Amino acid sequence: MDKQRTIKKEVELEGVGLHTANRARMKFKPAPINSGIRFIRIDLQTRPVLRAEWNNVLAESFTMRRTSLGNQEIQVHTVEHIMAALSGLGIDNLDIEITNNEISGFDGSAKVIVEALSKAGIEEQDSPRNYFVLREPVYVQEEDASIFALPSSEFRISYTLSYEGPPLLRSGYLDYKNNPDFFKDEIAPARTFCLEEEADDLQGKGLGRGANYENTLVVGKDGVVKNKLRFEDEFVRHKILDLIGDLYLLGCPLKAHVVAIKSGHALNLKLLRKIKQQKDRLYISGVQLKEQPGENEQLDTEEIMRILPHRQPFLFVDRITYLEKGRRAEGIKNVTINDYFFKGHFPGRPVMPGVLIIEAMAQVGGVMMLSAKENLGKLAFFMAANNIKWRKPVIPGDRLVLEVEVVRLKAKTGQVRGRARVGDKLVAEAELMFALVDR
């Protein structure tokens, strides 16, 4: 199983932003597991933190020709090259301290960033990578540009470039399969570009103030102006670089085959939004163990909420009192008159609905099954309940003890037996079936 990665030691870079021309110093620092990629504006007094994820992506109307992050406090512009470098090198956790509002452009590619991070060294961390595996095809289109994302066991991009205008941009195709060495040598050095006829207009709109003929390939009718190509198909390679960076703003590595035709940042981010929506739908309906608890560990409500996606009023476990990984667990639900379901379920004589007792068993069962090392990072979907028996009513004031044990646990399915007790009285029992799927 792939492990999460960070860098071994700190490394610094300094340069000028391609669009704002603002000079920024950046310090890359190792970060702990599950922390993700975080930008920290150390030039501001409060040192605000901005996570590199979809929720912080700014609308295109604020960030033409680039991808930017922001919230009510801060903005960080032109993050696509640095995000591509992190994706290509397989870095999951990193803190990036920055002294201005735009990532330095360097030579217009990700080459300088990749070289610096590689020199700092990349090390594995003691936790599996949190991939999102696309389940259903996703498609977006805008005029003559389009992107398909198809389910796949790997991350792959097939990009077709086709523009009217200079011959260099009329056609191009490249199929990229995720590989750190190929990325470092063949994708990261590809530089950003624009048409010669666009240059003045872009700068008139406040863009490209830090651009020059060295860090931007300016394409005229007779070829590249005052520069030479690093690759014959450098333009399509740079488009792939941008797409890799944009997709890494999902907040985790993606497994999907992305087929793109003439896409740019705006369309890339529309695709990202649809993938994020699919990811959210999947996670809402499944139990996900984010951290692996210790053997026989007890978990309080706050710790349970770091493991389960459920929140009040649909969290029915107050405490895990016993946990034998992948074999047996015991949890507690303290039933009170303040529980929301008593407002409508026999309000004159409140009784806890039987289906909610079964759901409470399932929540304990999900934690227990996913605590096994081989299932860490998977999702557990409650599929069926058999041989259900409700023996006694559960009322306010009862302390519901939920016991689950494994009947059968395979790579993709799990079956558990659950019992619910109040004191020494058995109040309900059932056999529960789960599907175990990769994220």
Amino acid letter, residue 338: N
Whole-number Å distance between alpha carbons of 194 and 198: 7
| Cβ atoms 381, 316 nearer than 8 A | no
Residue 349 to residues 344, 352, 359, 387, 427: CA-CA distances in angstroms?
10, 10, 22, 27, 17
Structure tokens that stand for 210 in this block: 């830090």
The distance from CA 95 to its chain's CA centroid, rounded to whole angstroms, is: 16
Whole-number Å distance between alpha carbons of 150 and 147: 10
Query: Phi and psi (nearest 5°) for 7?
Result: -100, 160
Q: Give the sheet arrangement for strand 413-422, strand by strand.
A: 287-288, 379-390, 425-437, 413-422, 399-409, 328-334, 319-324
Active site residue 257: no
| Cβ atoms 205, 230 nearer than 8 A | no
Active site residue 345: yes
Cβ-count burial 23-34 (b if 16+ within 10 Å, e if not): ebebbbbbbebe
Catalytic residue among 77, 81, 257, 265: 265
Residues known to be catalytic: 265, 345
